[in-house]
Amino acid sequence: MSLNWESTYAIAMELRRNHKDVNIEDVTLGQIYNWTLELSEFEDDPALANDDILYAIYQDWYEEHIHGRK
């Protein structure tokens, strides 16, 4: 599976799996950016990221956290 900046939900789920012990409310957009670039499946240009994309990833992750899905 290849991830790009448009894959906000898939990225959020990978970050959630990889960072189970973090408090989502303490996660910054900078952390989301760095952690996304560290994903082995991520294959997009880092320069294309912007706050809207990073916030969309955060929102997807937060929604999953709130609804308690695994």
What integer is the mean pLDDT of 51-61? 98
Is 32 exposed, middle or buried, given 0-12, 13-18 or 19+ CB atoms closer than 10 A? buried
Which residues face 3 on adjacent strands? 42
DSSP 1-53: --B-TT-HHHHHHHHHHHTTTS-GGG--HHHHHHHHHH-TTB-S-GGG--HHH
pLDDT of residue 1: 77
Range of the domain at 16: 8-67
Let me know if residue 43 belongs to a domain: yes
Which has the higher per-residue pLDDT, 65 or 5?
5
CA distance 53 to 20: 21
Mean pLDDT over all residues of the chain? 95
Let me know if residue 1 belongs to a domain: no
What integer is the mean pLDDT of 18-45? 97
Is residue 22 pLDDT above 60, yes or no?
yes
- State how many domains the chain has: 1
- Domain CATH code at residue 46: 1.10.10.600
pLDDT of residue 31: 98
pLDDT of residue 67: 87
